[in-house]
């Protein structure tokens, strides 16, 4: 059951209405409904197998929903392919790195930024700092902000796993999205790396709508405005961090009644 019902209004950044996902006779998600306000930080938590990544896959367009509808700033995008959702400003990261491992951190970043600067169809000019100073200036700014300036010339495959996660989040931010979906962004990071990422996410512009799947409860409670708890293919509970933190049912979902 859900803790409370939301009125459906036109100015939500994201509305999900009754979506579900079946694989043959196996029902992974059923009748998922929620709404996210522009600028909201919404966390999705739940035990392994609850369907969190499947939900993100459907929102981002990487997986078609079996039922229901998805609205992005009041536009029904249920049948819009993922690349078009990206162009509209919906960007996601994945649990596993999607970086180009043989390229440097800077080259990975430049490949993303060139689209933002309208250079992805320009093949006849070498992209040097002298030829495209604004492109490189923005890249340097992002590298400084995300603490990766000293790693910019390092080939991605030589980075630690935590550093690769940092790069991937930075690339998502570089597209200047309206809605950013982060799937376990701090997985595999050290505590120091996690705290660094948490601080950066907390300082993101408030007009950026952020959806996050995360198992680190310190990150969840330090970032989220609202939290949705997925369990048995449904949103079991929804509320502010303090309410979720003190609800014994959430503890039971993760650890069982005997642990309580």
Of the residues 151, 176, 201, the one at which a domain ends: 176
Identify the domain boundary among 116, 144, 176: 176
Residue-level pLDDT at 38: 96
Which domain-ending residue is among 143, 176, 209? Answer: 176
Give the pLDDT confidence of 99-116 residue by residue, as tens digits: 888 899 999 999 889 877
What pLDDT shows up at residue 116?
74
Question: Are residues 141 and 204 both part of a single domain?
Answer: no
Q: What is the CA radius of gyration of the chain?
A: 19
**Residue % of the chain over a pLDDT of 90:** 61
Residues 2 and 82 in one domain: yes
Question: Where in the sequence is the domain holding 208, given as residue range(s)?
Answer: 1-89+178-260
When pLDDT is cut at 50, 70 and 90, the band that residue 243 belongs to is very high
Cβ atoms 209, 226 nearer than 8 A: no
Q: Do 9 and 43 have their domain in common?
A: yes
CB 181 within 8 A of CB 59: yes
Q: Considering its fold, how many domains does the chain have in total?
A: 2
Q: Which residue has the tokens 């162009």?
A: 87
Distance CA 67, CA 212 (A): 23
Confidence at residue 217, expressed as pLDDT on a 0 to 100 scale: 92
pLDDT on residue 122: 53
The verdict on 85 and 103 lying in the same domain is: no
Angle ∠(191,179,104) on CA atoms, nearest 5: 55
Sheet with 209-213, side-by-side order of all strands: 90-92, 179-183, 209-213, 41-45, 226-231, 234-239
Average pLDDT score over residue span 204-226: 94
**Same domain membership, residue 170 and residue 116:** yes
First to last CA, the chain: 21
Q: What CATH number did the domain enclosing 32 receive?
A: 3.40.50.300
Identify the CA nearest to 175 among candidates 100, 114, 105.
Answer: 114
User: Are 143 and 213 members of one domain?
Assistant: no
Query: Residue 35 pLDDT > 70, yes or no?
Result: yes
Rounded Cα–Cα distance for residues 210 and 115 (Å): 22
My answer on whether 69 and 111 are in the same domain is no
Longest dimension (CA), the chain: 66
Are 112 and 167 in the same domain? yes
Together in a domain, 24 and 140: no
In the chain, % of residues over pLDDT 70: 87
> Do 198 and 222 lie in a common domain?
yes
44 and 120 fall within a common domain: no
pLDDT at 188: 81
Stretch 3-27: mean pLDDT? 77
137 and 255 fall within a common domain? no
Mean pLDDT for 124-140 is: 75
pLDDT digits over 62-95, tens only? 999 999 999 999 999 999 999 999 999 999 987 6
């Amino acid at each position: 059951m859900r803790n409370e019902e939301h009125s459906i209004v036109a100015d939500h950044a994201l509305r999900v209405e009754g979506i579900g996902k079946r694989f043959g006779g196996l029902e992974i998600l059923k009748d998922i409904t929620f709404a996210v306000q522009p600028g909201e930080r919404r966390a999705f938590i739940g035990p392994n197998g609850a369907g969190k990544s499947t939900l993100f896959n459907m929102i981002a367009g990487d997986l078609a929903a079996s039922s229901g509808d998805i609205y992005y700033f009041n536009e029904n995008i249920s049948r819009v392919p993922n690349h078009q959702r990206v162009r509209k400003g919906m960007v996601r990261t994945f649990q596993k790195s999607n970086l180009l491992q043989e390229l440097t951190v800077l080259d990975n970043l430049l490949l993303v930024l060139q689209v933002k600067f309208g250079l992805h169809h320009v093949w006849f000019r070498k992209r040097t700092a002298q030829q495209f100073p604004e492109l490189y200036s923005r890249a340097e700014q992002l590298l400084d902000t995300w603490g990766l300036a000293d790693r910019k010339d390092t080939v991605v495959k030589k980075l630690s796993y935590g550093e690769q996660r940092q790069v991937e989040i930075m690339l998502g931010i570089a597209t200047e999205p309206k809605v950013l979906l982060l799937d376990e962004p701090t997985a595999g990071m050290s505590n120091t790396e996690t705290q660094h990422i948490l601080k950066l996410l907390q300082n993101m512009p408030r007009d950026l709508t952020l959806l996050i799947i995360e198992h680190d409860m310190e990150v969840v409670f330090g970032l989220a405005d609202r939290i949705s708890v997925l369990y048995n293919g449904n949103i079991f509970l929804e509320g502010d961090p303090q309410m979720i933190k003190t609800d014994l049912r959430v503890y039971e979902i993760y650890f069982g009644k005997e642990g309580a």
